[in-house]
């Protein structure tokens, strides 16, 4: 099955700086890569996703890049704010699976200090 690795496990940034989280996946057939933000005790919330026919996608301060050859994808958050502090999960899904059957990475705890 699919295996997703995520780095770093923790990330501390100063407010206004950029944050980058990287993930790699094992199954080259995976074609859907969402990113979820989860605050303590709350639900994972989809913040951005990318499909394998696209190399980059941006939504305001958040961008995701995908390198299919290297089987890795990254989340970029610019101009970080304290409310960006949370755990971020990357995930991958195979085309034979429904989009909600996700293999998650282990998560990155992001702390934005004012």
Q: Binding residues for another protein, per CB under 8 A?
A: 32, 34, 36, 41-46, 49, 89, 97-107
DSSP per-residue codes, 6-30: EE-SEEEEETTS-EEEEEEES-TT-
CB of 31 to another protein, least distance (A): 11
Tokens of 36: 């979820």
Nearer to another protein, 29 or 46 (CB): 46
CB of 3 to another protein, least distance (A): 12
Rounded Cα distance, 6 and 91, in Å = 9
Nearer to another protein, 46 or 82 (CB): 46
Nearer to another protein, 42 or 58 (CB): 42
CB of 14 to another protein, least distance (A): 25
In terms of phi and psi (left: phi > 0; alpha: psi -120 to 50; beta: otherwise), the region of 74 is: beta
């Amino acid at each position: 099955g699919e295996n997703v690795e995520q780095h770093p496990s923790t990330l501390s940034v100063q407010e206004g700086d950029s944050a980058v989280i990287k993930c790699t996946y094992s199954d080259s057939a995976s074609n859907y890569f969402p990113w979820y933000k989860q605050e303590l005790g709350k639900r994972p919330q989809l913040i951005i996703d990318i499909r394998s026919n696209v190399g980059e996608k941006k939504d305001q301060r958040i961008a995701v890049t995908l390198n299919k050859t290297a089987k890795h994808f990254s989340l970029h958050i610019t101009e970080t704010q304290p409310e960006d502090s949370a755990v971020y999960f990357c995930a991958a899904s195979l085309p034979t699976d429904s989009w909600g059957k996700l293999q998650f990475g282990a998560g990155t705890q992001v702390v934005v200090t004012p």
